Structure 1
Amino acid sequence: MTAFDRFTLPVIFVAGLVGAAGVALAAAGAHLGGALIGPASTMCLAHAPAMLALAALSSARLRTAIPSALLLGIGTLLFSGDLTFKQFYGESLFPMAAPTGGMMVIIGWLVAAVGVFLPPRT
């Protein structure tokens, strides 16, 4: 297994989960309603393609691509999962789950931005 496979394939897998969750949440929102489902779906559908783009860049061109993509994916799943859980069960996954996921996403975007200033790997 190459370094590419070891780090990039898990990112693509998580991106697939995030994208699938976004479509499922959009369907749930259309059929079941709920104020929290729409934002959860939007968050997933916005970040899954970004994760795939970061995986395509890989760490050879953007050194922070993989850490950034993982932060985006995990943060998005945590944020959207908490909103979804709250919508259907009336309580949070755990205290501060959505804000923690949101902060992970923000940090993921900042990690991608910082990567522009690092030299590419040779």
Structure 2
Amino acid sequence: MRTGERNATIRLAGFAGALFAAAAVALSAYAAHAVLEPQARERLITATLFAFGHGVAIAALARHGAHWFGGLALIAMLLGTLLFAGSLVGAVFAHASTSLAPIGGMLVIAGWLMLAVYALRR
């Protein structure tokens, strides 16, 4: 990976992680104050916990995007968080299917496992 690509991965991870965390705070406020059905509230709370936790982790780990394997792990976590939390939020606001949530969850797990391998190889 070239220097420009590494820097872009680091910036993208930092930006996306912070954006996930900010969206999670806004959605958790909505879940706390809006009149929602119990299942919708539960889905929003799950999505916000997932997006906030992984958003903070992605932003904190962004510097590992300088290495191709660390960058790949962060991209898996980014896409996974987007699919998992996005699927749950989409179900609440657009009555969309949550069928992408398991794929997102698997991508996040894969990203964490890749980061574990990366940490051992450094």
- Root-mean-square deviation (CA, aligned residues, Å) is 2.0
Match of 1:85 in 2: 90
Q: Is the 8 A contact 1:79 1:101 kept in 2?
A: yes
List alignment gaps of at least 5 residues for structure 1: none
Letter in 2 for 1:35: E
Give TM-score scaled by structure 2 length: 0.81
Q: Which whole-Å CA distance do the structure 2 matches of 1:85 and 1:7 have between them?
A: 27
Q: CA deviation at 1:64?
A: 2.9
Q: Which whole-Å CA distance do the structure 1 matches of 2:13 and 2:102 have between them?
A: 22
Q: CA deviation at 1:104?
A: 0.7
Match of 1:51 in 2: 58
Give the % identical residues: 32
Cα-to-partner distance string for 1:48-89 (whole Å, 9 max, x where unaligned): 1111221134435xx632222221121111111110111223
> Aligned pair count?
115
Higher helix share: 2
Q: Which whole-Å CA distance do the structure 1 matches of 2:65 and 2:88 have between them?
A: 30
Moved over 4 A (4+): none
